[in-house]
Structure 1
Amino acid sequence: MSREELDYSIYFDASKNAWIAAVSLGFDGAGRRVRLLTPKIKKLREEAEKGIKTKANYRVNDAVEDFLTHGLKGRSLGTITHARSMAENQIKPKIGNYRLKDLRAEHVDLWLDELAESLATKTIIQIHNLLTRAIRMAEKRELVGRNVSALCETPHGQEGRPSKSLTLDLAVAVLKACNGESFGAYVITSLLTGIRPEEARKLLWEAVDLDGRPNAKPPIPPSISVLRADRVGGDTKIKKSRRALDPMRVLRGLRMITKKAGIGNRWKVRELRHSFVSILSDGDVSIERIADLVGHSTPNTTQTVYQHQIRPVIVHGAEAMDVVFGNGDQTG
């Protein structure tokens, strides 16, 4: 709608004993003029000229729900579940009731500052990003004039718990504790191969070769064929492999095993991969070789992500690796 097509007027309303500014947005389906009365005529005029169709009762809750429904197509179940959890726990109860057209940058700033009092910086970044993307979708649909969330800086939050890794002795204890546990095979595979959690959850028994081909030339040892995850799409490349274990079931299974091993139940699944890297590093395996084994495109990724693990905390070299990766007398 162009400036010339808009109909502005200012008139005196005797019933209110006040001058009223009004902007006409055309006619409805019954031929009645749609006229908005507002003291913020400049803003309405700008929105009308841009084609913005602001809904009076379209709230932050609505924008977030629309994004969760339509903006995460093709993402993994874990990503969707995590996004919904952030929305339900941190966005909707606290700023969800604001009408989107009334949301201001100061509202978002105050909300983020409140989150910073109890949450880790990484978590706040994820929550803020979710709100920004939700409003961006509403902006693209011309439901709001601008994305005020994108104007706000993400504050620093609390120190998050750093990832940790198993020492040699703890790794041996965990491997022993896997015996007889339903998630024992999962934990052993993750700890001894360093595959990503999303790769391990999708692993099928048909990919496991327990015998190998010892008579082949050269001999082929027992192996597990791991499909490296497509990090962009958040999924493995083979459709058949998409039958995945539920992440929370896996976490509960791991924590039952670590508790049985006597090392508590606060471990995370990804720390099995960290432990793999740490133990290899302690065994004097080169950073380039470790990067290749864990599927990093460059050694720099391995050094950056696992810097706090890659240091010699156990001085056993190759003997330590033999104990962890295959000495049956030590592991059970």
Structure 2
Amino acid sequence: MPSSRLTERALNSLKPGATLWDQEVRGLGARRRGNDGRVIFVFKYRSPIDRDVTGRGRQRYITIGPWGRGDWGIDDARKVATAHRDALRLGRDPAADRDHRKAMPTVAELCDAYLAAVPNLLLRRERRPKKPSTIATDKSRIAAHIKPLLGSMPVDAISQRDVQRFMHGIAAGASAKRSKLGSRAVSNVRGGRGAASRTIGLLGSIFAYAVAEGHRPDNPVRGVTRYADGKRERRLSDEEYALLAAGLVRAQAEGVNPFGISCVRFLLLTGWRRGEATELRWSEVDIPGRTARLSDTKTGASMRPLAQPVVGLLQEQTRTGGPFVFPARSENKALQGLPRMWARIRALSQLGEDITLHTLRHSFASLAADLGYGDAAIAALIGHSRSGTTARYTHRSDRVLLKVADEVAFATLDKLQYPPAVAAPRIERGLECP
């Protein structure tokens, strides 16, 4: 068969149906098709894994691509052919590798499969499926960051270096995008280090699923050093407690939703998560027993002690006839828009934007620590999971936890410098807790 060094002149002179083999890279050829006259680069080899009865590898052809402007150049074809020859030396069949790549899902397809399977996947630490709210957040991160930056790549082509670039790209704003969702709604993807670290955590779970499904033998996210998690350690100072108390009074005078004001006071006195408070139902509250039994929280079912000031607040709470302690305008729905109400209260309190509803939770836990209480007691008060300690402590120490809750709630009232609605009498201070 004719062979020569492939050049533009040689390729232009090829006749329809003719093939010219390259003298520089063995196996690389250029063939002019008879139907449309285009020149196509091909690679000819003998398969190392598919042999005939004599033990000789079967001859195969693999198409590299068309030659021409905007397509493959001669040097490009040589690089691909050289890569195929390297694969042959390792005992791999380039055609089998190509078929494997075609069958391999992209990262976008893997994400879709993961989201379809995740309701039935158990979290390793909690041994339970992800909550619907967490799955909704996962969907948002996949759509905002993972698919735009990695979605088109094959799953088995992702390296640890790709993951590192991906993380740094999100941190630098590579996936930042602002778009309209409707007449009023706007999607504003900002990126940043916090978003990068949290998305890398999700990507690790997605690739763990890929390993379990046999798409690749390893997880490329493992070993990647993330940015610091940016935990929100902000707590209220004594001055800020007083400013917030005054802001709550102003909010009431200016017509802020009274259920929103009551919910903020409730969060101040309990340290609960925002969703736990807004979703709290009267059926979960035991006023005489001063407990709340939450059937579904971030850490599963949870029983919480209710301090005397909290009981007083609940007793003075207006009952609408609906199931929720803090209802929306519709009595049968939970309170909506608490972050927006909090922004108004915060502005009326002349507090900085770095003070969030989570700051109230951290302030409550920090105040409990200031009073000398240990991690197990604080975890039981605010529903923080600590390797099963919370549940055991709660069931054994209800009376002690009620005293702890009372003291932390009354200490909060001291810092607020004015009493929110409290119907129960004040207890004696200086209680001890092991």
Maintained 8 Å contact 1:207/1:225: yes
**Structure 1 residue corresponding to 2:364, chosen from 240, 251, 276:** 276
- Partner of 2:234, secondary structure, is coil
Q: With the length of structure 2 as denominator, give the TM-score of the two structures.
A: 0.50
Q: 1:68-99 CA distances to partner (integer Å, 9 max, x unpaired)? A: 22124432232112212221222111121112
Structure 2 CA distance for partners of 1:297 and 1:106, relative to 1, 3 Å: closer
Task: Identify the residue that residue 45 of structure 2 maps to in structure 1.
Answer: 20
Q: Secondary structure of 1:227's match?
A: strand
Q: Counterpart in 2 of 1:261? A: 349
Is 2:182 the partner of 1:125?
no
SS of 2:221's partner is helix
1:112–1:128 CA contact under 8 A, matched in 2: yes
Q: Does 1:65 align with 2:137?
A: no
Note the alpha carbon deviations across 1:99-118, whole angstroms, 9 max, x for none: 22333333223222323446
Q: Which has the higher contact order (CA 8 A, sep 6+)?
A: 1
Q: Does 1:199 align with 2:281?
A: no
- 1:62 CA displacement: 0.9
Aligned pair partner of 2:235 in 147, 165, 169: 165
1:61-210, aligned counterparts within 5 Å?
61-73=108-120, 74-117=129-172, 122-142=194-214, 144-147=215-218, 149-156=220-227, 160=230, 162-167=232-237, 168-177=241-250, 179=252, 180-181=256-257, 182-208=259-285
Q: Distance in 2 between matches of 1:108 and 1:91?
A: 10
Shift of 1:59: 0.9
DSSP 3-state at the match of 1:138: helix
Give the structure 2 partner of residue 7 of structure 1: none
- Give deviations 1:282-331, integer Å, cap 9, x for gaps: 5x454465454334577xx99xxxxxxxxxxxxxx97764464972599x
CA separation of 1:235 and 1:294: change in aligned 2, threshold 3 A = closer
Cα shift at 1:66: 1.5
Flag the 1:280–1:93 CA change in 2: closer, same or farther, 3 A: same
Is contact 2:45-2:61 (8 Å) kept? no
Q: Distance in 1 between matches of 2:100 and 2:296?
A: 41
Letter of the 1:126 counterpart: R
Cα deviation for residue 190 of structure 1 reads 1.1
* Partner Cα distance (2:167, 2:150) in 1: 10
Say how many residue pairs are matched: 278
Computing the radius of gyration from Cα coordinates, the structure with the larger value is 2
- Aligned counterparts of 1:19 and 1:36: Cα–Cα separation in 2: 5
Q: CA deviation at 1:135?
A: 2.5
**SS state of the match for residue 225, structure 1?**
strand
CA distance in 2, matches of 1:264, 1:148: 41
Using the alignment, how far apart are the partners of 1:285 and 1:23 within structure 2? Answer: 72
Deviates more, 1:79-88 or 1:36-45: 36-45
Shift in Å, 1:264: 4.5
Structure 1 unaligned spans of 5+ = 1-10, 26-34, 213-219, 303-316
Superposition CA RMSD, Å: 4.7
Q: How many Å separate the matches in 2 of 1:261 and 1:278?
A: 21
8 Å contact 1:56–1:99 — kept in the other structure?
no
Q: Which amino acid aligns with 1:95?
A: L
Is the contact between residue 48 and residue 92 of structure 2 (CA under 8 Å) also seen in structure 1? yes
Name the counterpart of 1:225: 292
Q: Provide the rounded CA distance (Å) in 2 between the counterparts of 1:319 and 1:12.
A: 81
- Give distance in 2, aligned partners of 1:126 and 1:87: 11
**Structure 1: distance between partners of 2:293 and 2:249:** 24
Q: Give me the whole-angstrom Cα distance separating, in 2, the residues matched to 1:54 and 1:72.
A: 28
TM-score for the superposition, normalised by structure 1:
0.63
User: What displacement does 1:60 show?
Assistant: 0.9
| Paired AA for residue 261 in structure 1 | S
1:327 counterpart = 2:419: yes
**What corresponds to 2:70 in structure 1?**
none
1:287-306 alignment runs, 5 A limit:
287=374, 290-296=378-384
